[in-house]
């Protein structure tokens, strides 16, 4: 019985660690890569339009989409 509880606790701890790793590392990295992609696409397509949420996302990570500057 005690081993089952420890096993369950270990599984839950691993799930929490994986979720935190995704939330604090992988998700921001994905959003930054999207900003770079959008900026590159906007220089290829002359009438490329940024929505408000795209502008907010890129500004959150320090990308200047108006001047098409990637860090």
Query: Are the C-beta atoms of 55 and 65 separated by less than 8 Å?
Result: yes
- How far apart CA 13 and CA 33 sit, in angstroms, is 29
The reply to whether 18 falls in a domain is no
User: What is the C-alpha to C-alpha distance for residues 57 and 53, in angstroms, rounded to an integer?
Assistant: 6
Residue 17 covered by a domain: no
> Is residue 57 assigned to a domain?
yes
CA–CA gap between residue 38 and residue 50 (Å, rounded): 8
Q: Which runs of consecutive H residues, i.e. helices, occur in the chain?
A: 2-21, 27-44, 52-60
Q: What is the pLDDT of residue 67?
A: 74
* pLDDT for the residue numbered 31: 95
User: Does 8 fall in a domain?
Assistant: no
Residue 36 belongs to domain spanning:
24-71
Residue 68 within a domain? yes
Residues 1-59 pLDDT 10s: 788 989 999 999 999 999 988 888 889 999 999 999 999 998 899 888 899 999 999 99
Which residue reads 């992988």 in tokens? Answer: 26
The answer to whether residue 9 sits within a structural domain is no
Instruction: Name the residue with higher pLDDT: 70 or 51.
Output: 51
Domain contains 7: no
60 within some domain: yes
- Residue 70 in this model has a pLDDT that exceeds 80: no
């Amino acid at each position: 019985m005690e081993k089952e509880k420890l096993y369950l606790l270990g599984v839950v701890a691993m799930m929490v660690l994986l979720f935190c790793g995704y939330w604090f590392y992988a998700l921001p990295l994905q959003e930054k890569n999207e900003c770079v992609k959008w900026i590159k696409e906007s220089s290829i397509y002359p009438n490329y339009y940024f929505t408000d949420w795209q502008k907010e996302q890129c500004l959150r990570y320090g990308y200047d989409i108006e001047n098409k500057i990637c860090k």
